[in-house]
Chain A
Amino acid sequence: MPKKKRAEAAEQPAYTWREKVGLAQMLRGGVIMDVVTPDHAKIAEDAGAAAVMALERVPADIRLHGGVARMSDPEMIASIMAAVSIPVMAKCRIGHFAEAQILQALGVDFIDESEVLTPADEMYHVDKHAFAVPFVCGCRDLGEALRRIGEGAAMIRTKGEAGSGNVVEAVRHMRTVMDGIRRLTVLGPEQLMTEAKNLGAPYEVLKEIAATGQLPVPNFSAGGIATPADAALMRQLGAEAVFVGSGIFKSGDPARRAKAIVEANTFYDDPAKVLECSKGLGEAMVGINISEIPEGERLAKRGW
Chain B
Amino acid sequence: MRSPVIGVLALQGDFREHLEMLAGLGVDARNVRTPEQVAACDGLILPGGESTTIGKLMRRYGVDQAIRELHAAGRPIWGTCAGAILLSREVVENDVHNLGLLDARIARNAYGRQTDSFERGLAMAALGAAEFPAVFIRAPRFVSVGPGVEALAAIDDEPVFVRQGNLLASTFHPELTSDPRVHAWLAELARA
Instruction: State the CA gap A16–B49 with chains docked (Å).
Output: 19
Looking at the assembled complex, report how far the CB atom of B170 sits from the nearest CB atom of chain A, in whole angstroms: 14
- Which among A19, A25, A133 is the interface contact of B118 at CB below 8 angstroms? A19
Q: Which of B90-137 contact A (CB under 8 A)?
A: 94, 108-109, 112-119, 135, 137
Q: How far is the CA of A49 from the CA of B49 in the complex (A)?
A: 11
Question: What is the bound-complex CA distance between A49 and B52, given in angstroms?
Answer: 9
Interface residues on A, range: 35 or more
Q: How far is the CB of B127 from chain A (nearest CB, A)?
A: 20
Best-surrounded residue of B11, B48, B53, B94 (most CB of chain A within 10 A): B53
Q: What DSSP secondary structure best describes chain B's contact surface?
A: loop
Interchain CB contact under 8 A, A87 and B114: yes
A109 within 8 A of partner (CB):
yes
A152 → B minimal CB distance (Å):
15
Closest Cβ neighbor of B93 among chain A residues: A85
**Contact count band on B:** 35 or more
The stretch that binds A, out of B14-22, B147-155, B184-192, is B14-22
Q: Which residues of the partner chain A approach B53 to less than 8 Å between Cβ atoms?
A: 30, 48-50, 86, 262
Cα separation A87 to B50 with both chains bound (whole Å): 9
Give the Cβ gap from B58 to chain A, nearest Cβ, in Å. Answer: 11
* Alpha-carbon separation in the docked complex, A132 to B118 (Å): 11
* A110 on interface, CB distance cutoff 8 Å: yes
Decide if A13 touches B116 in the complex (CB within 8 Å).
yes
Question: Is the pair B57, A266 in contact by a Cβ cutoff of 8 Å?
Answer: yes
- Residue of B10, B113, B117 most packed against chain A (CB within 10 A): B117
Q: Which of A104-140 contact B (CB under 8 A)?
A: 104, 107-110, 132-134
Chain B residue with Cβ nearest A25: B14
Cross-chain contact B115 with A23 (CB below 8 angstroms): no
B residues contacting A by CB (< 8 A) are 10-17, 33, 48-50, 52-53, 56-57, 60, 81-82, 94, 108-109, 112-119, 135, 137-138, 173, 176
Report the 10 A-B pairs with minimum CB-CB distance, sorted nearest first: A109-B114, A19-B117, A29-B12, A25-B14, A22-B137, A50-B50, A48-B56, A48-B53, A132-B115, A107-B113
Chain A contacts to B: CB under 8 angstroms: 12-16, 18-19, 22-23, 25-30, 45, 48-51, 85-87, 104, 107-110, 132-134, 240, 262-263, 266-267, 270
Besides A19-B119, A85-B108, 18 other A-B contacts (C-beta < 8 A):
A13-B115, A19-B114, A19-B117, A25-B14, A26-B14, A26-B81, A26-B82, A26-B137, A28-B13, A30-B13, A48-B52, A50-B12, A85-B94, A87-B114, A107-B115, A108-B114, A266-B12, A270-B33
